[in-house]
């Protein structure tokens, strides 16, 4: 059900892509386009229409007053990577997760401009276009490819020479995390203020691929119906995140 909804949502987004959609600006000078709103409306109608007893958390929908983890609810980003989308770049995606008891139990990411689809369930293998995903397992002294936002690069602590190879981050956080889940990147650092809808579906992908998306204390994220912003996060294999936790000890949230 969420796969079909994500694919149809991706098709709607492609209908506006590189066609100069109307744009508005939210708090923090964050852009939102008519494509974001069109995809959001479609997904809410399709998903809540199919599961009317589920709750709803979306970047483009007003937050509910209820703040708890009870029952199942959708966590949706209609277009993750809106800035890249508006620049005509391919690295954006539709992200849908189903959350139960604070953790994602199903997730789909569709990047239609790239022809990529990622899927995960709590009891199954995570896949990319049907092929099973696995995080990489770099050794304690192996060089790791780590996507690092520019604002964090200069703040990184000491690390043995050559042990970290910083990579430029992909604008869509959800897609970047999916690449960690599938081993295209060893790990990533995520600057403070990421939202639930940016990470929920990819969180499950990484977990089922044998990795971890966590805070600086190594704690996995709990998702709530109100949605929330997070401090500094990191993702990769369990060994990789342990190394990253040492690396960011001196960086404040």
C-alpha dist (Å) from residue 70 to 53, 57, 219:
12, 13, 20
* DSSP state letters, 107-175: EEEEETTTTEEEEEETTS--EETTEEP------TTS-EEEE--HHHHTT-----TTSEEEEPPPS-HHH
Q: How many C-beta atoms lie closer than 10 Å to residue 237's C-beta? A: 23
Q: For 109-165, how does the pLDDT look when each residue is reduced to its tens digit (9 = 90+)?
A: 999 999 999 999 999 999 999 999 999 999 888 899 999 888 787 777 555 545 888
Fold for domain 144-247? D-Maltodextrin-Binding Protein; domain 2 (3.40.190)
Fold for domain 2-131? Fructose-1,6-Bisphosphatase; Chain A, domain 1 (3.30.540)
Model's pTM, two decimal places?
0.93
pLDDT tier at 107, thresholds 50, 70, 90: very high
Q: For 160-203, how does the pLDDT look when each residue is reduced to its tens digit (9 = 90+)?
A: 545 888 888 899 999 999 999 999 999 999 999 999 999 999 99
CATH 3.40.190.80 residue window(s) in the chain: 144-247
CATH 3.30.540.10 residue window(s) in the chain: 2-131
């Amino acid at each position: 059900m969420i796969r079909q909804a994500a694919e149809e949502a991706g098709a709607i987004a492609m209908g506006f892509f590189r066609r100069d959609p109307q744009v508005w600006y939210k708090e923090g000078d964050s852009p939102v386009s008519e494509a974001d709103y069109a995809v959001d409306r479609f997904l809410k109608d399709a998903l809540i229409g199919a599961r009317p007893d589920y709750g709803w958390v979306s970047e483009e929908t007003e937050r509910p007053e209820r703040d708890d983890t009870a029952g199942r609810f959708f966590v949706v980003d209609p277009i993750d990577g809106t800035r890249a989308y508006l620049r005509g770049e391919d690295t954006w995606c539709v992200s849908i997760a189903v959350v139960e008891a604070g953790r994602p139990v199903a997730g789909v990411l569709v990047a239609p401009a790239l022809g990529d689809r990622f899927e995960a369930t709590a009891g199954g293998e995570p896949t990319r276009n049907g092929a099973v995903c696995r995080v990489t397992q770099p050794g304690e002294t192996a060089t790791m490819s780590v996507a690092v936002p520019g604002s964090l690069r200069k703040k990184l602590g000491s690390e043995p020479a050559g042990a970290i190879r910083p990579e430029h981050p992909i604008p869509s956080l959800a897609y970047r995390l999916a690449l960690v889940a599938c081993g295209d990147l060893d790990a990533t650092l995520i600057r403070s203020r990421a939202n639930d809808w940016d990470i929920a579906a990819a969180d499950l992908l990484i977990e089922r691929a044998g990795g971890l998306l966590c805070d600086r204390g190594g704690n996995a994220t709990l998702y709530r119906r109100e949605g929330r912003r997070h401090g500094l996060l990191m993702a990769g294999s369990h060994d990789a995140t342990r190394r990253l936790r040492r690396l960011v000890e001196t960086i404040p949230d």
